[in-house]
Amino acid sequence: MKERVFRWLSRFPLHLVLIGAALVWLTPSVGLLVSSVRPYEAVIRTGWWTVLAHPFDFSQYTLQNYREILLTQGMAQAFRNSLLITIPSTIIPIGIAAFAAYAFAWMEFPGRQVIFAIVVGLLVVPLQMTLIPLLRAYNRLGLAGSYVGIWLAHTGYGLPFAVYLLRNFFGALPRDLFESAYLDGASELTAFFRLALPLSVPALASLAIFQFLWVWNDLLVALIYLGGTEEVAPLTLKLSSLINSLGQNWHLLTAAAFISMALPLVVFFSLQRYFVRGILAGSVKG
């Protein structure tokens, strides 16, 4: 008993700092959420924190903002577009990277180290450098403004990091396992699908989160390669155009912003146990 009190006390400063940091980080998001469910009149008259005076008075909340933004402002279409861009742009690069990383980690071929160094070296190339040449190539190939074009672009931008992370993860798997599989009669492909992939779920999951968030929140790449037309614009583009068209209508903007945040939150929370493990990948034995 005494020990537990002591432990709690000795950790108290740490907890205080953590709680403080969490509050600072959460406040804007909570403000956004609260504002998005308040009616227009309330939003322009008082700050969102006024609801804290009587938080359980549900008459002050409304879902009208969401209804309006989704049905009349085309947020639903933008949400669909975002999914259409993000899901393939997450799966394709990770799929390619897994194959590449396996080859870099376990297959002998000439120039392996050099090629890997070049791939990792690409991490330092700012993607802005590629915008003009790539767009010109797309225009010639007819890929500009198409989903395929943006999938390929995101794949290219995501690959170096994905290959790097996965190669390190695959490389840390015990060699004996693969040798044992070869003796058992496994081909490289079998070893990849039956050993490397199942054992790398944490790394794959954390990579998927990274790539998903990056693509979901991307404005620049989508704007350049897709253009701003309504049929293809993702949430980020839609949101920035709403700021222009709705101006002072905060109640709608906050609802729109929260819609754009919702999916990343779901993805993060559903995969977060892998995420934490993935970040620690290889640092702790076991």
Partner 1 sequence: MASVTYEHVTKRFGDVIAVNDLNIHIEDGEFLVFVGPSGCGKTTSLRLLAGLEEVTEGNIYIGDRLVNDVPPKDRDIAMVFQSYALYPHMSVYDNMAFGLRLRKVPKKEIDRRVREAARILGIEELLDRKPKQLSGGQRQRVAVGRAIVRDPAVFLMDEPLSNLDAKLRVQARAEISKLHQRLGTTFIYVTHDQVEAMTMGTRIAVLNAGVLQQLDTPQNLYDYPTNLFVAGFIGSPAMNFFDATLVERDGKVHIDTGDFIVPIPDDRQETYRPHLGKEVVFGIRPEDVHDPEYAPPGIKRAPIEAMVTVTELMGNEVIVHLETDRFEFLGRFDPRTSATVGTRMTAVFDMDRMHLFDKETEKAIR
CA angle at 73 for the pair 67 and 75, rounded to the nearest 5°: 80
Type of residue at 130: T
Under 8 Å CB-to-CB from 155, ≥6 apart: which residues? 89, 92, 93, 96
Q: Which member of 13, 110, 185, 247 binds partner 1 (CB under 8 A)?
A: 185
Distance CA 227, CA 249 (A): 25
User: Of 196 and 271, which has the nearer Cβ to partner 1?
Assistant: 196
The interface region with partner 1, picked from 128-136, 139-147, 169-177, 248-256 by CB under 8 A, is 169-177
Which parts of 30-59 interact with partner 1 (CB under 8 A)?
A: none
Which parts of 75-104 interact with partner 1 (CB under 8 A)?
A: none
Least distance CB 168 / partner 1 (angstroms) = 19
Q: Which member of 12, 182, 268, 269 binds partner 1 (CB under 8 A)?
A: 182
Q: Which member of 94, 181, 222, 233 binds partner 1 (CB under 8 A)?
A: 181
Can residue 110 be called a binding residue for partner 1 (CB under 8 A)? no
Which residue, among 224, 218, 219, has the nearest Cα to 241 in the 3D structure? Answer: 219
3-state SS class at 258: helix
Q: Which member of 85, 150, 166, 195 binds partner 1 (CB under 8 A)?
A: 195
Q: Where are the beta strands (DSSP E) in 118-266?
A: none
Q: Which member of 27, 63, 179, 220 binds partner 1 (CB under 8 A)?
A: 179
**Residue count at the site for partner 1 (CB under 8 A)?**
16
Q: Which member of 17, 118, 177, 265 binds partner 1 (CB under 8 A)?
A: 177
Under 8 Å CB-to-CB from 29, ≥6 apart: which residues? 261
The interface region with partner 1, picked from 60-68, 81-89, 148-156, 192-200 by CB under 8 A, is 192-200
Residue 258 CA: distances (Å) to CA of 72, 169, 230: 17, 35, 20
Residues that bind partner 1 (CB under 8 A): 174, 176-177, 179-186, 190, 194-195, 198-199
